[in-house]
Structure 1
Amino acid sequence: MLELYQFELSQYSEKVRFILDYKGLDYRKVEVTPGVGQLDLFQKSGHRQVPVLKDGDTYIGDSTDIAFYLERKYPEKPLLPSNPRAKGFCLMMEEWADESIGLKGRKALIGALNKNQNFRTSILPKEVPDFLKNLVGAIPGDLLDVLGSGVGLGGDSVKEAVTGLKQDLEALCLILESQPYLVGNTPSLADFTVAGLSMVLKFPDGNYLDIPEHLKGKGIPELADNSAYAPFFAWRDRLYAEFRQPLTPQSPGDAPPTPIEIE
């Protein structure tokens, strides 16, 4: 069985989960606990960051490399259009989404976390001790903003990210006005990339992610609650309903968290 080393709230892990579910491949999730140590994963795979896919003795890191590997190894239900023009648009949109929605979505999420202490503690993994959750929740948002400025995650950077995401969502709404998928009439890598990376903009309803119930359907202010972008999120949630497998009460393939740091 395939094994996916992941972090449940990683957008790029969600991108890979979408692809695995779409292709109907059985896989076991191995949750990676942040802050414990990178050595185990690095020694196994040569990769420090998730997602990492294990197929037999082969380890593949990076969500795009994983997508291309799965397309070669398991060609049923292809991710790439056969038409050269459509394939070109698909590849271009996948790269754009990784660099735009992926990176700006992280910044916007951090901005939302800075402003909401309860939100910060609620999305931490279950395995994080309560005293650490309380410590994180007690840090003032303005202090986090100051600390974030040194690494490009301060208030101005977050505002720029949200502004850029608004333009991205408007563009996606316009593209989807006249077609069911981003590159035509069939789903492709572009769709699963955009849908997976938008996870942190607004968490999907339904039992797809191992997150607290009160977070489902919630998201980043000005984006998740803006009626102008409702068509995009309706489209995204349709992809969840059609292609993502919901969690089972006790997923038999899921392994307990392992002591691996992801960042």
Structure 2
Amino acid sequence: MAVRLYQFAISHFCEKSRWALEYKGIQYQPVYLLPGSHIKTIKALAGTSSVPVLEHDQEVVQGSEQITDYLDRTFPDNPLTPENEDERAQALAWERRLDEEAGPAVRCYCYHHLLQRPKVVTPLLTAQTPFYNRYLVRLAFSRIDEVMRNWMKINEKTAAQSMETMTAVLQDLAEAYQSGPYLVGDRFSRADLTAAALFAPLFQPAGYPVPWPKPERLPQAMQQWLESQQSALAPLIAQYERHR
């Protein structure tokens, strides 16, 4: 049975799973969904509405960490999980911290600013879906803005807290990368993949399947903070250049 990945193009958690599949050389069918209208499809598959969801050989795997586990078990070539027990524990610890802290913080911070620019965020939300979704989102944007902010608890206060969280995590990553090109051991692992994928919306890598806005179209406050983080983001950009 074909491997299918149900996803949002813009989601950095979905980017984790896209990257894992492609790094391991696995052919798969991407199924791009529109946020909101995806709920019925994903609940029917997995019981809850979060993406990414992988479908393969009657197996349904939900969540980027669980998908990486499944891929390493089922397709052992180019492993992302270290074999050494200590290194494996370190890689998983990095991944869980990044999933729990960095992922939600990047999402909250970016959406807080980008939802203020409907013409910028609409192409990101609708990327890789039928063209008419762009018009539907534009027509319903005020309601979409309200629902997203309420659902993800996005506001001025949480965006400021998210910026502090991202700054702290990026500082810790930058310090870790001073010891070598990888977070764990001497090879690329799920820790590096997670760090780079979850922070990718901040440096807009080529190949990510969305039409990134030009930097000058971002809100000024966002531009200024991103400028201040360029040196901390550099090791993550390097992971894309080497391994994506």
TM tier relative to shorter chain: 0.7 to 0.9
- Contact 1:149–1:155 under 8 Å retained in 2: no
Tell me the residue number matched to 1:221: 223
Query: Could you give the per-residue CA deviations for residues 200-226 of structure 1, whole angstroms, max 9, x where no partner exists?
Result: 22321x2x1222254489974344322
**1:94 shift after superposition:** 0.6
**Within-5 A mapping of 1:1-263:** 1-36=2-37, 38-126=39-127, 127=130, 128-130=133-135, 132-133=137-138, 135-136=140-141, 139=142, 148=149, 152-204=153-205, 206=206, 208-212=207-211, 214-215=213-214, 220-226=222-228, 229-244=229-244
Query: Equivalents in 1 of 2:43, 2:122: separation in Å?
Result: 28
Query: Equivalents in 2 of 1:44, 1:150: separation in Å?
Result: 22
**1:71 shift after superposition:** 1.1
- Contact 1:15–1:63 under 8 Å retained in 2: yes
Query: Equivalents in 1 of 2:72, 2:16: separation in Å?
Result: 14
Local SS of the residue matching 2:30: strand
Query: Equivalents in 2 of 1:124, 1:215: separation in Å?
Result: 16
- Kindly indicate which of the two structures has a greater share of residues assigned to helix: 2
Amino acid at match of 1:12: F
Q: How many residues align?
A: 235
Query: Could you give the per-residue CA deviations for residues 41-74 of structure 1, whole angstroms, max 9, x where no partner exists?
Result: 3223434221000112111111111111111111
Q: Which has the higher contact order (CA 8 A, sep 6+)?
A: 1
Percent pairwise identity: 26
Gapped regions of structure 2 (runs ≥ 5): none
Runs of 4+ in 1 over 4 A off after TM superposition: 215-220
- Contact 2:72–2:79 under 8 Å retained in 1: yes
- Contact 1:203–1:217 under 8 Å retained in 2: no
Amino acid at match of 2:29: R
Local SS of the residue matching 1:102: helix
**1:172 shift after superposition:** 1.0
Query: Equivalents in 2 of 1:163, 1:131: separation in Å?
Result: 34
Query: Could you give the per-residue CA deviations for residues 223-256 of structure 1, whole angstroms, max 9, x where no partner exists?
Result: 4322xx3244332223223322xxxxxxxxxxxx
Query: Could you give the per-residue CA deviations for residues 66-92 of structure 1, whole angstroms, max 9, x where no partner exists?
Result: 111111111122212222222211111
TM-score by length of 1: 0.79
**1:118 shift after superposition:** 3.0
RMSD: 2.8
Query: Cα–Cα, structure 1 residues 210 and 151, in superposed 2: closer, same or farther, change >3 Å?
Result: closer
86-95 or 75-84: bigger deviation: 75-84
